[in-house]
Amino acid sequence: MRFTPLPFARFVPLWCAASVFALAPLLADHSSGAEAIPDKAPTTGTPVDEALQRTRKQVRMIDGIYKHGIVLITENYVTEDTDMPAGVAFKKLFEAAKDNGWHEVRLIDATGEPYNDENSPLPGFEQRAVDVIKKGEAYYDEVFTEDGKRYLRAATAIPVVLPKCVMCHPHYEDAAPGAAIGVLGYKSLIE
């Protein structure tokens, strides 16, 4: 008897990843180790930019989901250095988010020794964000306009939170507890 895959079988990995995202808020005891991202309130006397505040809130939500998912996958499925790192799997999710027009997100190195050269910070926002986050901040953002639309560029700290991280990144062994070794960089349309 020959095995014939079901037509929906190609969607099973995506469904599994979506399940992790849906369950992430219920798994609060699996903390990513990152500090909470503070709300950035406008200065006194400045009118509240509600669209900007909504976008910042959305970035905080997405960031928490991604980080909790990476920790859960690493804790439960990465057991040897030959296993696919959660960061590699999530880069595929980042591509899907961009392809769907939801937001853009990049995994950016903050150690000076990137896992891949493509993770090096780009000049401009990414380098400024890495500089700020390496000084201890958990979050940094800037608003900019592109093709007549306003966007939020945001960056959040990625600390080493699991001993397993050093399986793929041996140079993280020297990282101070809680120190950022990377950044998730976001680009989101302000609506």
SS3 27: coil
Copy the structure tokens of residue 145.
């306009």
Q: Is 24 left (phi over 0), alpha (psi -120 to 50) or beta?
A: alpha
DSSP state of 43: P
Mean pLDDT of the 42-67 span: 85
Query: pTM for this structure?
Result: 0.75
The pLDDT assigned to 66 comes to 95
Query: How far is 191 from 72, CA to CA, in rounded Å?
Result: 31
Four-CA torsion 176, 180, 182, 184, nearest 10 degrees: 160
Query: How far is 78 from 62, CA to CA, in rounded Å?
Result: 23
* Domains of the chain, each with CATH number or no CATH: 11-29+49-189 (3.30.450)
Report which of 140, 143, 90, 152 is spatially closest to residue 119, judged by C-alpha positions.
90
- The residues facing 148 across adjacent strands are none
Percent of the chain with pLDDT over 70: 75
Residue with the larger pLDDT of the pair 4 and 72: 72
